[in-house]
A and B are shown apart, each in its own frame.
Chain A
């Protein structure tokens, strides 16, 4: 009697071992490329800055203090809240939020349009959406500089049409950063919403119309709630990278329109940088994003129940 039971349990063990072995590459990749760097960054944020960039192994909260507190230019005044970096964070959050909203407003109808085309045509539209990704983001962002500048094609065209008489200063403003963010991340909104709308059962919108809902009510009370997971996924995929973006603010926003991404980027550049401070800003950014994701996950699970 005992023998078959034993062989069965050992069979289960080998199966479990096999699963673990198959998961090993995944654990290696996540461990080496995600967990260790994040840990390293967290540790760095508590270390002391070396004079020429790099770190010294002395534990300190100086990096976080630098972020939140100021003691004046020479460090001899009573501590006050440091607004510089909080302002940069705040600008990043609302720029990213605005970009997300814009992407949603433009991306939803686009996704709807593609998903409601005949099945044969849809891949063509999706292909067109992905074409910009054939070119590196850096090159596309630099190209935007040429389009947006005072004597660039946008201003020239608007002047030729008589919309404006003098070139509109767009480059090096928040607007330019916004255009860059919106342009960079729009497909990340379109694709998940497309996937959700494509699975949408149009009998549901017929049922809503049959039950006296007008078009607006059908959209807000039936269509949007049903495709909500796609919308949420799109918003996360746009908001998070937009929050940490540094190409668009760097290249289009100029020096005045700093965002978090550029702030971090700067800390790790050459001998001017401050690694612990850059690491601390990264940790703060990551914490904010994690909190946002947790809140969203809780809302989603509440919506399910």
Chain B
């Protein structure tokens, strides 16, 4: 296997009696876009700051292309950071900001002006080289921060919620641009966010974190479609969590009885018979005249591209259903009686 760009082994971080990270281990592949996703306080920023060197790990190793950097000062680590509020130097021009890392590395003035100029071209800001950061908009400052962090050619680029201060339109445009930039430069991007949409749209790999632990690592599809536990299922997208009875486990299949009596066979071993949580994505429940479930529509929520139905099942229990707002779609009104069907493999058993 190719050497990981960053390998974190059993990283622990304690602040006094509070433990922010409980033995995190991760492999981040070279030339990939890797995202740490989780709610605030889950330890994702702490982990990023440990890789940058602003926080020292209490225990554990941080390897950068095989070299342990856990004890190095931040200025000796070949990684660069894009800060949440950009942290641009207010007393320097945009060009000097971008050239700062090169200057500290001892690059000749002519060469560093040249390279900083090319970095500004890369982020489409060449005409702003002589301005002060305070004269730029939030989106432009963001690009300067990116150019500044990329200019010294770091081995890994760390991005600490860099889009959170931008408005929605800009944020969506920057997602595409960031992914393109990663592919063009071939630098490994380690991106921290609490926004699942950002994570899903840009990442090659996502690590979902909660309470100082990595819950699941996988591609966007794996995380969304095969969440390993209740936290991941609920944090990524919308889902119906249902308490189900597992009656038998055989050959990687579990026989499950849903609260309304329906029996299903679910994939997933490693679960013993008993009560378990089960996740059903709203878009995997479909309207079907021959559907096995009868339900009353309680409310219809208009979401633009989608419609959300809150339904009460005839045999007990509530479900959220998501329909595409297609031209031909027949939209039931509140109070209507409809028949629903679970798509093949819609139900997913969760570990806890």
B91 adjacent to A210 (CB under 8 Å): no
Restricting to B231-279, which residues have a CB under 8 Å from any CB of A?
none
| A102–B84 CA distance with the chains assembled, in angstroms | 38
Please choose the segment from B15-23, B37-45, B98-106 that sits at the chain A interface, where 4 or more of its residues have CB less than 8 A away.
Answer: B98-106
Q: How far is the CA of A17 from the CA of B105 in the complex (A)?
A: 61
The yes or no answer to A226 lying at the interface (CB within 8 A) is yes
Q: Which of B74-82, B190-198, B200-208, B324-332 contacts A (4 or more CB under 8 A)?
A: B74-82
Number of inter-chain CB pairs below 8 Å: 66
Instruction: Give the residue of B85, B89, B90, B152 whose beta carbon is less than 8 angstroms from that of A212.
Output: B152
A225 within 8 A of B: yes
Q: Is A284 an interface residue (CB 8 A)?
A: no
Complex Cα spacing A76 to B149, Å = 76
Q: Which residues of A contact B74 (CB under 8 A)?
A: 206, 209-210
Within 8 A of A (CB), among B64-117: 73-76, 79-81, 83-85, 87-91, 100-101, 104-105
| B residues near A204, Cβ cutoff 8 Å | 87, 89-90
Residue of A nearest to B99 (CB): A211
Chain A stretch 214-254: residues in CB contact (< 8 A) with chain B: 214, 217, 221-222, 225-226, 228
Chain B residue with Cβ nearest A305: B132
Say yes or no: B87 contacts A203, CB within 8 Å.
yes
B148 interfacial contact with A, CB 8 Å: yes
A225 to B92, CA, bound (A): 9
| B101–A211 CB distance below 8 A | yes
Q: Does B52 contact A (CB under 8 A)?
A: yes
Contacts of A206 in B (CB 8 A): 52, 54, 74, 81, 83, 87
Counting contact residues on chain A (CB < 8 A from B), the size range is 10 to 19
Q: Is the CB of B81 within 8 A of A207?
A: yes
CB neighbours (8 Å) of B148 from chain A are 211
Decide yes or no whether B53 CB sits under 8 A from chain A: yes
Closest to B101 in A: A211
Task: Return chain A residues, CB-CB under 8 Å to B149.
Answer: 210-211
- Among A210, A225, A226, A228, the residue within 8 A (CB) of B75 is A210
**Contact A208–B100 (Cβ < 8 Å):** yes
A214 touches B87 (CB 8 A): no
Given contacts A211-B148, A212-B101, A213-B104, contact A225 B91 (CB under 8 A): yes
The answer, yes or no, to whether A77 is at the interface (CB within 8 Å) is no
**Across the interface, which residues of A come within 8 angstroms of B76, CB to CB?**
212
Q: Which of A203, A217, A222, A228 contacts B83 (CB 8 A)?
A: A203
| A212 CB contacts on chain B under 8 angstroms | 75-76, 101, 104-105, 152
- Provide the bound-state CA to CA distance between A269 and B275, in Å: 99
Q: Report the minimal beta-carbon distance from A175 to chain B, rounded to whole angstroms.
A: 37
- How far apart are the CA atoms of A103 and B164 in the complex, in Å? 42
From B73, B85, B152, A211 is in contact (CB under 8 Å) with B152
Give Cα A221 to B99, complex, Å. Answer: 13
Nearest B-chain residue to A205, judged by Cβ: B87
Are B54 and A211 interface neighbours, CB within 8 A? Answer: no
Contacts of B87 in A (CB 8 A): 201, 203-204, 206-207
Q: Give the distance in Å from the alpha carbon of A115 to the alpha carbon of B53 in the complex.
A: 23
For residue B164, give the distance in angstroms from its CB to the closest CB of chain A: 14
A226/B91 in contact, CB under 8 A: yes
Chain B residues, Cβ within 8 Å of A217: 104
Contact A214 B75 (CB under 8 A): yes
Contacts of A214 in B (CB 8 A): 73, 75
Instruction: Name which of A201, A207, A226 has the most chain B CB atoms within 10 A of its CB.
Output: A207
Q: Which residue of B lies closest to A225 (CB)?
A: B91
A200 and B105 alpha carbons, distance in the complex (Å)? 25
Residues in A whose Cβ lies below 8 Å from that of B89 = 204, 207-208, 222, 225-226
Given contacts A203-B85, A206-B54, A208-B100, contact A213 B90 (CB under 8 A): no
Docked-complex contact B75 and A209, CB < 8 angstroms: yes
Q: Which residues of B contact A210 (CB under 8 A)?
A: 52-54, 74-75, 79-81, 149
A206 to B73, CA, bound (A): 11
Chain B CB within 10 A, most for which of A209, A226, A303: A209
Type the 1/0 row for B32-60, where 1 means its CB is closer than 8 Å to any CB of A.
Answer: 00000000000000000000111000000
Chain B residue nearest in CB terms to A206:
B54
Instruction: Collect the chain B residues with CB atoms within 8 Å of residue A226's CB.
Output: 89-91
Assembly CA distance A197 to B31 (angstroms):
40
Shortest B85–chain A CB gap in Å is 6
Known: A203-B85, A206-B74. A211 touches B90 (CB 8 A): no
In the assembled complex, the Cα of A214 lies from the Cα of B106 at a distance in Å of 12
- Separation in Å of the B153 CB from the closest CB of chain A? 12
**Given that A203-B83, A207-B83 are known contacts, is A213 also in contact with B91, CB under 8 Å in the complex?**
no
Query: In the assembled complex, how far is the CB of residue A304 from the closest CB belonging to chain B, in whole angstroms?
Result: 9
Task: Given A207-B87, A210-B79, A221-B100, output 6 extra A-B contacts at Cβ < 8 Å.
Answer: A201-B85, A204-B89, A207-B81, A207-B89, A212-B104, A212-B152
Some 8 contacts from A to B, beta carbons below 8 A apart, are A203-B84, A207-B83, A208-B100, A210-B79, A211-B100, A214-B75, A225-B91, A228-B91
Ordered nearest first, which 4 A-B pairs have the shortest CB separation? A211-B101, A203-B87, A212-B104, A207-B87
